[in-house]
Amino acid sequence: MAFLEVKNLEITYTIGSGSLKAVDGVSFSLEKGQSLGVVGESGCGKTTIAKGLMQLLPKNGSITGGSIKIDGKEMVGLSREAMRRMRLKEIAMISQSAMNALNPVYTIGDQLVEGIMAHSSLGRKEALRRAVEVFEMVGLEEKRLKSYPHQLSGGMKQRAVIALALTLNPPLIIADEPTTALDVVVQDRILHRILKIQKEINSSMIFITHDISVVSEICEYIMVMYGGKVMEMAKTDDFFRHPYHPYSLGLQNAFPIITEEMEELISIPGSPPNLQNVLPGCRFQERCPFAEQRCRDEEPGFAEPEPGLLTACHFPERVEEFREKAAHRDTWETVRKRLIEEMKEGAAHG
């Protein structure tokens, strides 16, 4: 059994009188020392997965199905207190906004020491020694322990947040867009530092981002999400060399690569599905240029066209044709026209 096993995870938010499944039947597993990049557009459920794993969902959200097993131990249904004890020691999160993750009225050192003492049996002195160690790991000087958050630059704050998350060598690290607000030079340093530490302490890492090029650089596996579901999952290198799912093909078209001469970027027309009113069939059907009746009737299961590569599409055998067509703007233009027609019809009937 893998170190982290997530099976059919369902996370539901209640909104007004209704509800929506932000994460709908997501399964994946991760061995020790492996890293998985989770990518997708806003609203695809990637951050919800992170919060679900930490069990730090907002009040209106809850895990409504499935299981999360860390090292064989079931996490779903654990008491708040049991879960609190797990955090930082067993599972730690590097959050997106370093600016808000730190308490402005305590020094960074106090916050680190408090975290270490609350989650381990170390005394103050040992905790302080540990704090100095992790500061060194993330490349901050010891004297910064005495600084308040406002005295640090954005990059330093982000490193302090990383230090905070990694103090107890957690076997599972969840990084939610840890570098999105930073400049590229800073981002580059921080990414490689996270990677180095993750390898050193042999943790598993889930790295959540909207930037597929970051995943390409630092994760071994990639999971592409759309509308609360997994569309494609593969080894990162395989995924970037030959993706299968039409959504992945669309994403690659839309992404500028700095080292390549780009003829034209092509976007995916339309917008993500309304999860409060889910259509039967494939989640991507409305924006997919290859959608057929079957896609509207029947939800695709996973096909494994290559060992270790999973794609949630009915037609993995037509991938050559899809790749060829997806590279042309016209293919996606037909989707745009169809969506405009549908809107007009909708307006006429409504």
Partner 1 sequence: MDEKPLIIIENLKKYYPVRKGIRELFNTKKEFVKAVDDISLTISRGEILGLAGESGSGKTTTGEIIVRLQEKTSGEIVLDGHPIDDSSREGRKRFRREVQMIFQDPYETLNPRSTVFETIAEPLKIHGWKDKEKIYRRVWEALEIEELKPPEQYLFSYPHELSGGQRQRVAIARGIVLEPKFLVADEPVSMLDVSIRADILNLLKGLRRDMGLTMLYVSHDLSTIKYICDRIAVMYLGKIVELGPVNKVLSKPMHPYTKVLFSAVPVADPDHVKERIVIDDEVPDQINLPVGCRFIPRCPYVKDQCSSCTHELFEYAPGQFSACIYREENLTVNDDRIIDEP
Which residues make up the interface to partner 1 (CB under 8 A)?
41-42, 139, 153-156, 183-193, 195-196, 210-217, 236-237, 240-241, 250-262, 264-268, 271, 340, 343-344, 347
Q: How far is the CB of 189 from partner 1 (least distance, A)?
A: 4
Please provide the DSSP assignment of 96-160 as one string: S-HHHHS-TTS-HHHHHHHHHHHHSS--HHHHHHHHHHHHHHHT--GGGGG--GGGS-HHHHHHH
How many CA atoms does the CB half-sphere of 252 hold within 13 Å?
18
- Is 233 in contact with 303 (CB distance < 8 Å)? no
Residue number, 169 or 252, with CB nearest to partner 1:
252
Q: Which two tokens stand for residue 193?
A: 């530092």
Closer Cβ to partner 1, 12 or 285, answer by number: 285
Task: Answer yes or no: are the C-beta atoms of 50 and 224 closer than 8 Å.
Answer: no
Comparing CB distances to partner 1, the nearer of 12 and 158 is 158
For residues 163 and 92, the answer to whether their CB atoms sit within 8 Å is no
The DSSP secondary-structure symbol of 279 reads P
State both tokens at 226: 């759309």
CB of 212 to partner 1, least distance (A): 5
CB of 51 to partner 1, least distance (A): 20
Smaller CB distance to partner 1: residue 28 or 247? 247
17 or 259: CB nearest partner 1: 259
SS3 243: coil
Report, in Å, the least distance between residue 72 CB and partner 1: 32
- The closest of 4, 9, 168 to 73, measured between CA atoms, is 4
Contact partners, residue 76, CB within 8 Å, separation at least 6: 63, 66, 67, 68
Estimate the crossing angle of helix 108-119 against helix 154-166, to 10 degrees.
Answer: 20
Closest CB to partner 1 among 1 and 184? 184
Nearer to partner 1, 198 or 311 (CB): 198
Q: How far is the CB of 307 from partner 1 (least distance, A)?
A: 17
Q: Least distance (Å) from partner 1 to the CB of residue 248?
A: 11
Q: How far is the CB of 152 from partner 1 (least distance, A)?
A: 10
